[in-house]
Structure 1
Amino acid sequence: MFNGLVTSLRTLTVLPVPGRDAHDFSDSLYWFPLAGLLLGLLQAVCGWAVVHAGLTELAAAAVLMSAVLLTRAIHADGLADLADGFFGGRDVDARLRIMKDSSVGAFGVLALVLVLLAKWAVLLPLLESSAYTWIVSGVILARSSQVLLASLMPYARSGGGTASGFVRGAGGVHAIVSLLLSSILLFILFSSSIVPVLLAQAVALAVTSAMALLSMKKINGVTGDVLGASSEVTELAVWCAGAMFFQLV
């Protein structure tokens, strides 16, 4: 079972992890929220260190840069490919073909710039409020969103692809475990305060559901790019919810 943890860390991070990969890649989905916890903590520490050096604006950039370095920008790449395919292709085949192309088009560049700019902007108030828990929670729920999409939706490519091993072996149990584990982690992070936990989970589920509907409409399923894009957008949405939460309380 712990081989799934090895595979999840090797898939989602660049960290050197000893051990053997899981026989079924889908077994790693159980551990995605935990991998998100590790990534989120590392990103939050980077932000905290720069904030305490008196450079809050640079701290927001440090959180984003650490994410890129720790994940080799795998999810940002998915966001760019999804934007190019979904908005540049006229039918399902064209969209899937564009998404598989390694080059980045105008839609992809715009999506990356807008999402990264929005993340930087929303990280500023979170860091100023020392809301590191919200930063970590966003990263956890971003990975949980991937599990939900992989577990509950069909794989869009008939010939297989990078994420096919994760999607085709996944099912409802993976989704339930991911939801439970992410909820437990958030409950611990927020010191048993139920309101922020429910808010963060609700926002993440809403974004994931919207991504599922859009993906079904555009390509009749999911691909690795869809999972990566969902991670990026969910993370941003949860951070936005955190920033608004601090304005209201």
Structure 2
Amino acid sequence: MLNGLVTALRTLSVLPVPGRDAQRFSDSLYWFPLVGLLLGFLEAGTGWLFMRADWPEFAAFAALLAGVVLTRGMHMDGAADVADGFFGGRNPDDRMRIMKDPAVGSFGAMALVLLFLLKWIVLVRLLALDGYAWIVAGVVLARFVQVCLAAALPYARREGGTASGFVAGAGGGHVAAGLLFTLAALILLIPFPLHYPLLAVMAACATSMLVGLASQRKIGGVTGDVLGASSELVEAVVWLTGALCLLS
């Protein structure tokens, strides 16, 4: 079972981890929210550290940069590929061909700029309002929704791909375990008011559902790029939800 944690850490981060990978990649899905919790604390901690200089704009940039470095920018790359494929392709095969191309097109570039800008603006507000718990919550939920989409939809590429091993073995047990851990983490992170954790989960689920529906319609399932894009979008939406809650 702990081999699944090793695989999850190696898949979702650049953190050096000793040990062997899980025999089934899907076993790592149980650990995705926990890895999200670790990454979230590191990102929020980076923001907190740079906030000692009382410069929320630069602290927000540092937190964003920490997230990119810790994940090798993997999910951002997925978001760019999905934008290029979904908006630039004419049919499912064409869209997946574009998504597989390592070059970033105009749609992908626009998506990255807009996504970075949104996340930076929201992070500035969260850091100014001491919303560190919401930063962590966004990263946790972003990894949890990857488990949900992997379990809910088939792998879109007939020839397989880097994420096919995760999707092929994903099921309700992974979602149930991830949900229990995620809810417990959110309640501990954001205990009051009691409806805040629920709002965070609702925002994440609504966003991932929209991504899943679009992916099913565009390419007939999910890929690693889709899972990465969903993670980035959910992170941004949960952070935005947190900022709005703290302002209210």
TM-score computed with the length of structure 1 as normaliser = 0.98
Q: Distance in 2 between matches of 1:91 and 1:170?
A: 27
Q: CA deviation at 1:188?
A: 1.2
Q: Is the 8 A contact 1:3 1:21 kept in 2?
A: yes
| Residue matched to 2:82 | 82
SS of the counterpart of 2:53? coil
| Residue matched to 2:24 | 24
SS of the counterpart of 1:52? helix
Q: Which amino acid letter does the alignment assign opposite residue 106 of structure 1?
A: S
- Greater shift after overlay, 191-200 or 110-119? 191-200
Q: Distance in 2 between matches of 1:92 and 1:116?
A: 27
| Residue matched to 2:93 | 93
| Residue matched to 2:156 | 156
Q: Distance in 1 between matches of 2:135 and 2:179?
A: 18
**Equivalence map 1:98-117=2 (5 Å):** 98-117=98-117
| 1:182 paired to 2:204 | no
Q: CA deviation at 1:16?
A: 0.2
Q: CA deviation at 1:168?
A: 0.5
Q: Deviations over 1:114-144 (max 9, x none)?
A: 0000000011110001110000000000000
Q: CA deviation at 1:196?
A: 1.0
SS of the counterpart of 1:16? coil
How many residues end up aligned between the 2 structures?
248
| Residue matched to 1:4 | 4
Q: Is the 8 A contact 1:138 1:234 kept in 2?
A: yes
| Residue matched to 1:135 | 135
| Residue matched to 1:195 | 195
| Residue matched to 2:210 | 210
Q: Deviations over 1:64-105 (max 9, x none)?
A: 000010000000000000000000000000000000011000
Q: CA deviation at 1:190?
A: 1.6
| Residue matched to 1:48 | 48
Q: Distance in 2 between matches of 1:2 and 1:89?
A: 40
Q: Distance in 2 between matches of 1:153 and 1:185?
A: 26
| Residue matched to 2:235 | 235
Q: Is the 8 A contact 1:4 1:25 kept in 2?
A: yes
| Residue matched to 2:119 | 119
Q: 5+ residue gaps in structure 2?
A: none
Q: Deviations over 1:197-219 (max 9, x none)?
A: 10000000000100110000100
Q: CA deviation at 1:236?
A: 0.2
Q: Is the 8 A contact 1:152 1:175 kept in 2?
A: no
TM-score computed with the length of structure 2 as normaliser = 0.99
| Residue matched to 1:68 | 68
Q: Distance in 2 between matches of 1:6 and 1:191?
A: 30
Structural RMSD (CA): 0.8
Q: Is the 8 A contact 1:36 1:140 kept in 2?
A: yes
Q: CA deviation at 1:192?
A: 6.3
Deviating above 2 A after TM superposition, structure 1's stretches of 4 or more consecutive aligned residues are 191-194
Q: Is the 8 A contact 1:33 1:144 kept in 2?
A: yes
Would the alpha carbon gap of residues 26 and 232 (structure 1) be closer, same or farther in structure 2, given more than 3 Å must change? same
Q: Distance in 2 between matches of 1:35 and 1:193?
A: 26
Q: Distance in 1 between matches of 2:110 and 2:175?
A: 31
